[in-house]
Homo-oligomer: A and B are copies of this chain.
Amino acid sequence: MAEPNRRTPGRPRDTDAEARIMAAAVEEYAEHGWAGYSLNAVARRAGVSKSTIYLRWPDKDSLLTDSVTARTHDIEDVDTGTLRGDLEALAANLLRHDLDPLGWATLRMAVDAAGAPTPPRRFAEQVTNQHRVAAVSILSRAVERGEATTTLPDSLVTEALYGTITMLALSRPSDRRIMGADEVAAAVVPVVDFVLAAVRDRLVSPAPLVQ
């Protein structure tokens, strides 16, 4: 067995540089938008020279893409025990994600990637798939628990939930994009109601609907 992480010759790369750079990239982007997002500034903020960045990424686009995707893995799929509970948790996560600058960046890049004629094709898929996975496992757990039938249309549920939440976030004026945990929880309920109502006859014991 060859040593897998055999040390390459030469000075090893600074271990935290990578992380510091990516953090700085996201922050700069979040603060100034694409037009004001400057690699020089990123370097300065990360306490690193430009060369160090260009040693790792070919250009500023790649750096941003990587930085954002790397940070997007934190949408977790919590198991609350009920379909409604799971969906509300997921929706709350989505909303929180869309409201903070990082989520905004993700969204922005998904849009970019979707329409761009150039390579970053997989970006949108990565992002949307990630959410789809969460939704699918929620639904299959519901079936396992006997809460729902197997005819639950997962892709529609995903798209409706994610889409609705995203529109909700998008239409929120920028000065009201900071919401407390309870606000988020409250905002999410009608959306989940709506989705559950749509799939009502695929549910075994009709979940409690809009009050």
Q: Residues on A close to B: CB < 8 A?
A: 30-35, 61, 101, 104-105, 107-108, 110-112, 114-118, 121, 124-125, 128, 153, 156, 158-160, 162-174, 177, 190-191, 194-195, 197-201
Copies of this chain assembled into the complex:
4
Bound Cα distance A156, B197 (Å): 12
How many whole Å from A187's CB to the nearest CB in chain B? 11
Show 19 A/B contacts (Cβ-Cβ < 8 Å), sorted by A: A30-B115, A33-B117, A34-B35, A104-B111, A104-B115, A110-B170, A111-B111, A114-B170, A116-B174, A156-B194, A159-B163, A159-B171, A160-B163, A163-B164, A163-B165, A163-B168, A197-B197, A198-B198, A200-B200
Q: A61-B35, A171-B128 are in contact. Are A160 and B194 (CB under 8 A)?
A: yes
On chain B, the residues within 8 Å of A153 by CB distance are 190, 194
How many whole Å from A68's CB to the nearest CB in chain B? 13
A168 touching B174 by the CB < 8 A rule?
no
On chain B, the residues within 8 Å of A115 by CB distance are 30, 33, 101, 104-105, 108, 174, 177
